[in-house]
C-alpha cells in the first residue's frame, strides 16, 4: 500500500493546526526520504502537532497521545470542523490580554468548546507551549502572537484527512503494543537523557523520566520483533545511542532550535534518528 494520498481531493495543502514544542514540521519538510516507501498503517504514539502524519496523509492511521485535551481537539476537528472554525473566528475578534487570561481560567466541559479553548490558547500563549500546574491547570502566559485564525486553516479538509484515523488517548506503550507486521511506527518522545536528572521534560502533569525512555525502548523492540517498522527521533546524546545500541540504523540530522524565546538565541542543533530497518 502506498504511504499517502497526496494530490487527492485538494488535500495536498493541509497543514498542522497546532504549534507544539518539539514538533516535527522541520523534519517533515526535510527528511521524508528517511521514511519507508510503503506500509499498511501509520502509527504515532506521541501525536503532538501531527506534522509527519499530515505530511504523509496515510490511508490508515492509529494516532495517540497521553494529553487528553490534545486528543479531544483532534476528535472535535474531525467531527465538528465548522464549529471549530466559527469558535476561533469569534476569539479573533475579541482577542486581548484580558480576554486571554479570562479564557485561560475558564476551561469548558463541552468537547467542541474545549477544543476551541485549547486551540485559542495554543495560538496565543507563549511559544505554543503546553504546560500545566500540579492541579492540571493550563498556566502558560500570554505570548506576542495576535493571530487566532491562520491563513493555513482549512478545518473541513483537516477533518477529511482525520476521517479514517483511529484517535486514542492513552500511554505510548499501550499503542505500541498494538502494532504488528505492516505497520510503520513514528516515535517522537519527550527528549529526556540519562544524566540530566534535573532536566526532566514535563508531559502533561506527569514527568517523562529516564525509566520511561527505557520502557519505550523495550516497547519498540517488541514491536520490531512482531514485524513493525520503527522510526525513533530522540536527543543526539550518548545515553540515547547506548540505549538503542544494536537496534537498527542510527542517523544524525540537523535542525534549528526553536525553544529560545528570542530568535537570535536559537541555533542549529542535532537529533538522532533510529530506524529499525537497514
**How many residues does this entry show for the chain?**
278
The fraction of the chain above a pLDDT of 70, given in percent, is: 86
Spell 157-174 as b/e; 16+ CB within 10 A means b: bbbbbbeebebbbebbbe
Specify which residues 165 forms β-bridges with: 61
Does domain 11-67+161-275 bear CATH number 3.40.50.150? yes
Question: CB of 206 within 8 A of CB of 192?
Answer: no
Per-residue pLDDT tens digits for 214-259: 999 999 999 999 999 999 999 999 999 999 999 999 999 987 644 4
**Residues near 103 by Cβ (< 8 Å), separated by ≥ 6?**
91, 117, 120, 121
Angle at 14 between CA 13 and CA 16, to 5 degrees: 135
pLDDT tens-place string over residues 112-129: 999 999 999 999 999 888
Cβ 242 vs Cβ 193: under 8 Å: no
In which element (H, E) is residue 168 found?
Answer: strand 165-169
Angle at 222 between CA 218 and CA 227, to 5 degrees: 145
Q: What is the rounded CA–CA span in Å between residue 67 and residue 168?
A: 10
Total-model pTM = 0.88
Q: What is the pLDDT of residues 143-193, one digit of tens each?
A: 999 999 999 999 999 999 999 999 999 999 999 999 999 999 999 998 877
Amino acid at each position: 500500500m502506498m504511504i499517502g494520498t497526496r494530490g487527492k481531493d485538494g488535500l495536498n495543502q493541509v497543514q498542522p493546526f497546532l504549534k507544539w514544542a518539539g514538533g516535527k514540521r522541520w523534519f517533515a519538510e526535510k527528511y521524508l526520504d528517511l521514511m519507508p516507501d510503503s506500509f499498511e498503517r501509520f502509527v504515532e504514539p506521541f501525536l503532538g502537532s501531527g506534522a509527519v502524519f499530515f505530511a504523509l496523509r496515510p490511508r490508515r492511521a492509529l494516532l495517540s497521545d497521553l494529553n487528553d485535551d490534545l486528543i479531544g481537539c483532534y476528535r472535535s476537528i474531525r467531527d465538528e470542523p465548522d464549529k471549530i472554525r466559527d469558535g476561533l473566528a469569534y476569539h479573533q475578534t475579541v482577542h486581548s490580554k484580558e480576554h486571554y487570561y479570562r479564557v485561560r481560567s475558564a476551561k469548558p466541559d463541552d468537547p467542541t468548546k474545549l477544543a476551541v479553548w485549547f486551540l485559542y490558547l495554543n495560538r496565543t500563549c507563549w511559544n505554543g507551549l503546553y504546560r500545566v500546574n500540579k492541579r492540571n491547570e493550563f498556566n502558560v502566559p500570554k505570548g506576542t502572537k495576535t493571530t487566532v485564525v491562520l491563513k493555513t486553516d482549512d478545518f473541513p479538509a483537516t477533518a477529511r484527512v482525520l476521517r479514517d484515523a483511529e484517535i486514542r488517548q492513552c500511554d505510548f506503550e499501550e499503542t505500541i503494543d498494538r502494532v504488528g507486521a505492516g505497520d510503520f511506527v513514528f516515535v517522537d518522545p519527550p527528549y529526556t537523557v540519562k544524566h540530566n536528572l534535573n532536566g526532566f521534560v514535563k508531559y502533561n502533569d506527569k514527568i517523562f523520566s529516564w525509566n520511561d525512555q527505557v520502557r519505550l525502548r523495550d516497547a519498540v523492540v517488541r514491536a520490531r520483533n512482531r514485524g513493525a517498522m520503527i522510526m525513533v527521533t530522540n536527543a543526539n546524546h550518548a545515553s540515547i545511542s547506548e540505549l538503542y545500541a544494536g537496534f537498527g540504523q542510527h542517523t544524525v540530522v540537523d535542525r534549528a532550535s526553536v525553544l529560545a524565546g528570542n530568535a537570535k538565541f536559537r541555533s542549529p542543533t542535532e537529533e538522532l534518528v533510529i530506524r529499525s530497518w537497514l
